[in-house]
Amino acid sequence: MTFQTNMDCIHEVLKFLRHDTESLHSCLLVNRLWCELSVPILWKDPWARFFNMPFSKPSFTQPTSLINTYISSLPRESILKLEKNGFNVSSISSSTTFNYPMYLRCLDLEFLYWLVMKWVQNKSKPGFRPLKRVVRRFKKFRKKLNNNNSNNLDSTSMPPQDKIRLVCSELLTLFLKESPKIYILRINDYSKVDVFGQLGEALANLNPKNNCLSSLKGLECRDKPVMDNIFEMLSLLTTDISQILIMGNYNTKTLANLIRSQKKLEKVCFENFHNMSPQDYWESGVGYELSKKAHFITSLHLLNSCSLLAKLSDFVNLQELTLQCIHEQSCEYTDSLTSANIPILRDIAKLKFRCKHEYSLEYLSNLIDKSNGKLRKITIEGSRIKDRRYDLLMSTIANKCPNLKSCSIPISRIDPQIDRLLESCEQLKDLKLCAVLDTSDNDNNDILLYQLLNCTPTRLRRLDFVDWKFSISAWELFLKTQSRTLLQRICYYWNDNSKIASPSDEFLKACQQNKRDGILATYKGIDSYWKCIWPKLFVMN
């Protein structure tokens, strides 16, 4: 009983490291028990390590190790099939310590394609295999014994694209057969090779009543007619999808049928919704099916899809709203979003608003004002503010968000009024203050530091400054005073691409000394306040 309790405790601790692959790799080396508990967590979502790479053409550093591991798990029939088509897989270990495909809970078709493509290219390079001299001599000897070039190790009878299709097909069949449950399925069409056909063939072989996709919780897909066959089969295999990310807006009928068959849809993400009015999208197809389920949606993410804010009033039970837009000029952000049509989101708890184009603080202030006081996290980032209603935003947050715990907002460099926010939001733990260019650009902003010194936030643990200019005397006084409080982390950043002048060399030397003394956590220049990345769906269980 005690041994089982220890195992359960260790497993719960290791689950917190599911996104930290380096730490999990270290846990593998502790002992056999830790290894057996770490391997399932590490191999649930092996593609997660590549998420922060550019999503146009990921340049993976070591893809062959992951593919080699999965190739080693293929059945004998698949190994022979690969060898007949010119793949030298004899150098790969034929046995593995664990059945790694069995632990797979997330399947990412895009990253699988790029990894296999890189693996095929490396296999085609001369000198890739170990003991290349021995292999070269063995090739010559084999040519003499057998003139049939189809069995040659370096056979090039199959085009590279067909080789990629073949490997993807064998791996997809392996994954869907060995894994008991697939929770997340990511399907994108960035690949130049059509791998949707291979996925369709693998799905067609599954039992509609008992299959690994019957437990599917999350789906990332592109709303395109080329995926009709996959959408049609998924609608027969699963009905429990709770989160879906839709890229594009072709309004395909098969995707609409898939959404209609889901019974537990709660989280919806839109990416690159354009060239169609929200009203037209809501009247048929995918938009119509989502409008019927809008009352059940609790989390809505809009990535480069600002025009869908016009339909925000349909999602009356939202608890989380995220908008991220990287477009600077061509965004379809509608100016018709005024205080007259602000939706009432009574249960909203998280609000994230990050835009590179112009936006209105009055609209966001009115949105917060109509909430029911349940907001725990507010993120408003972007320097192109039209109305500069900092006072309205600050007063609205102070009056309507008593339970706020995390806040990132732009504030005025002339009159920050931060003391009012800290006095009203007593539970605030994380605070990020982003300065916006004002007429007082050449002046120091010591007033912000003095306002922070005059108030005593009891629960504040982290404080970030972005694009602020302080005098050295006021800065050092603030840091020495805060070192005696419960504040655990103070960071200073400046935007390299901002019009605001960078800190002076004297100020940076002072920051360097403060970091050595352990008072300042970090200081550095950044490209922007934030990075706009896909709202990836992660395996939580």
- Name the residue with higher pLDDT: 126 or 42: 42
Mean pLDDT, rounded, for 382-393: 86
- Binned at pLDDT 50, 70 and 90, residue 201 comes out as confident
Q: Per-residue pLDDT averaged across 124-128, rounded? A: 51
* pLDDT band per the 50, 70, 90 thresholds, residue 346: confident
Report DSSP letters for 268-284, one per residue: EEEES--SS-HHHHHTS
Query: Quick one: pLDDT at residue 266?
Result: 93
pLDDT at 114: 85
Q: For residue 421, is pLDDT > 80? A: yes
Task: Give the end-to-end CA distance of the chain in Å, rounded to a whole number.
Answer: 24
- Does residue 51 register a pLDDT over 60? no
Mean pLDDT of 3-22: 76
Q: How far apart are CA 174 and CA 180, in angstroms?
A: 11
Q: Note the pLDDT of residue 245.
A: 92
Q: For the chain, give the mean pLDDT.
A: 81
Section 304-319 average pLDDT: 88
The pLDDT of residue 190 is 54
Q: Identify the residue whose tokens are 């399932």.
A: 40
> What pLDDT shows up at residue 494?
86
Which of helix, strand or coil describes residue 218?
A: strand
pLDDT reading at 219 higher than 90? yes
Phi then psi for residue 520, to 5 deg, are -105, 130
Q: What is the DSSP string of 343-359?
A: ---TT--EEEEEESS-B
Ranges 186-190, 274-278, 327-331, 444-448, most confident: 444-448
Percentage of the chain surpassing pLDDT 70? Answer: 80
Per-residue pLDDT band for 181 (boundaries 50, 70, 90) equals very high
In a 3-state reduction of DSSP, which class is residue 448?
Answer: helix
What is the band of 149 on the pLDDT scale with cuts at 50, 70, 90? very low
pLDDT(158) > 80 = no
| pTM of the predicted model as reported, rounded to 2 decimal places | 0.83
> Which pLDDT does position 59 carry in this prediction?
43
Q: What average pLDDT score do residues 43-63 get? A: 58
pLDDT higher than threshold 80 for residue 335: no
CA torsion through residues 181, 185, 191, 196, sign? positive
**Cβ-contact 276, 249 below 8 angstroms:** yes
Q: Does the pLDDT at position 343 exceed 60? A: yes
pLDDT at 125 over 70: no
CA 9 to each of CA 13, 21, 28: distance values in angstroms, whole numbers, following the listed order: 6, 20, 16
Instruction: Say yes or no to pLDDT of 329 above 80.
Output: no
Across the range 276-286, mean pLDDT stands at: 86
For the ranges 27-41, 151-165, 377-391, the lowest mean pLDDT is seen at 151-165
**Rounded percentage of the chain residues whose pLDDT exceeds 90:** 28
Say how many C-beta atoms besides its own lie within 10 A of residue 484's C-beta: 7
